[in-house]
Amino acid sequence: MSGAQPSRRTPSSAAADSRSVLISCEAADLLQLTVNSVELPEMEIDVQHAPEFIIPKEAVAAASPTGTPQGEGVFAPNGLTVAVRNVSRSFGEVKALNDLTIEVPTGRITVLLGPNGAGKTTAIRTITGALAPHEGTVQVFGVNPIEHGEEVRSRCGVVSAKPALYDRLSGWHNLEYAADLYEVNGNKAEKIREAAARFNIEHALDQPVGGYSTGMKTRLALSRSVLHEPDLLLFDEPTSGLDPESAHAVLALIREMTATGTTVVMCTHHLAEAEGLADRIVMLESGTDLIAGAPEDLTARYWPQAIVKLQCTEGDLAAVHELPGVLGADIAPDGLRAEIRLDHEVRIPDIVGTLVEKGVRLTKIDPFEPKLEDLYFAVRNEAREQGKVGEVE
């Protein structure tokens, strides 16, 4: 595309005319790729002050074979909004993603779990099309997000770990500008107020964002992500910087969004956040997926038997070996503590009753219900034994 010259504008400038498209670094993951995907003169991009560029529409068409969205509604082949298959991506000699596979069911919450540096953020950027995989394939809404970038990103809402906002503008003008970028239809002011109220930031919309706390900026970014009612939400550490009450409210809202069919992908290394929220989890390590599935299915895989932990002050718990339904037991040398594996948890009352009849004085009866934390460390310990995870220093 020779001779196509981008022109810089400010948020207060007039909108692009019918022959051009407004591109902003304010939502870098969503929009900047359109500029980078075509032959344009080399330019300096100041993400902090979020400049914008007007480029000819033929440049966008060159970046995307379709040029325009393929209609409304969520197209999800095989019930998957996102399908990342065997993707690898390197930065120099560092392999950020290594044969990564992620499947995201439509209308569900998929949580990417892993320590810092596991590849969660890079995976999100690959899904939006901001990064092209060096190997493997990515499909979002059934299309390649690199080839159909504008279409895909217009249907996504993204909140990065460090969201870029216009510090010199008020919260209201940040949301208003985003609404213009996304071409929000209907009563724009009402939709801005509704989005801000969902994340409890409406009281500060008239204040400059530069004076916001970290938590307030996160809530404004979350509000911005839902303004255009996207089909897919991509949240990278969405509760970062929030106080416990606000974090709890945000997680509850994320769950609420799936009730209307919205698909959510959330990155976190906080296991407590994912507990009870995730419909599906994918555990990442060194850019690859260690395990994936519904939490209840994965815990059943690692703990197929019911487990109860007993403790007593008198008697000998070794007597449990003779009781019906006991598949095995690990008894402490002093006989006062035991972890018992059962064919079903309904056996627990009978076992307790029999032990009491035998003179065992029980002080603790603790049915073991594996939590996500137990699963996380079980998977990592197994991976470490297989050489997939390095030792913690």
Say if strands 52-56 and 156-159 run parallel, antiparallel, or are unpaired.
unpaired
Using an 8 Å Cβ cutoff, are 114 and 269 in contact? yes
| Residues in contact with 112: Cβ distance below 8 Å, sequence separation at least 6, in sequence order | 102, 120, 123, 124, 265, 266, 267, 268, 281, 282, 284
For residue 246, what is the enclosing H or E element? Answer: helix 244-258
Query: In this structure, which topology does domain 77-298 adopt according to CATH?
Result: Rossmann fold (3.40.50)
No. of helices (H) and no. of strands (E), the chain: 12, 16
Q: If one looks up domain 304-368 in CATH, what number appears?
A: 3.30.70.100
The domain spans of the chain are 7-63, 77-298, 304-368
pLDDT string in tens for the chain (393-residue length): 444 443 334 444 433 343 334 443 333 433 333 333 333 333 333 433 333 333 333 343 333 333 333 334 555 667 899 999 999 999 999 999 999 999 999 999 999 999 888 999 999 999 999 999 999 999 999 999 999 988 998 999 999 888 889 999 999 999 999 999 888 888 999 999 999 998 889 999 999 999 998 889 989 999 999 999 999 999 998 887 788 888 888 888 888 888 888 999 999 888 888 888 999 999 999 999 999 999 999 998 999 989 999 999 988 898 898 899 999 999 998 889 999 999 998 999 999 999 999 899 999 999 998 999 999 999 988 888 887 665 433
Using an 8 Å Cβ cutoff, are 154 and 143 in contact? no
Amino acid identity of residue 345, one-letter, is: E
Instruction: Provide the whole-model pTM.
Output: 0.75
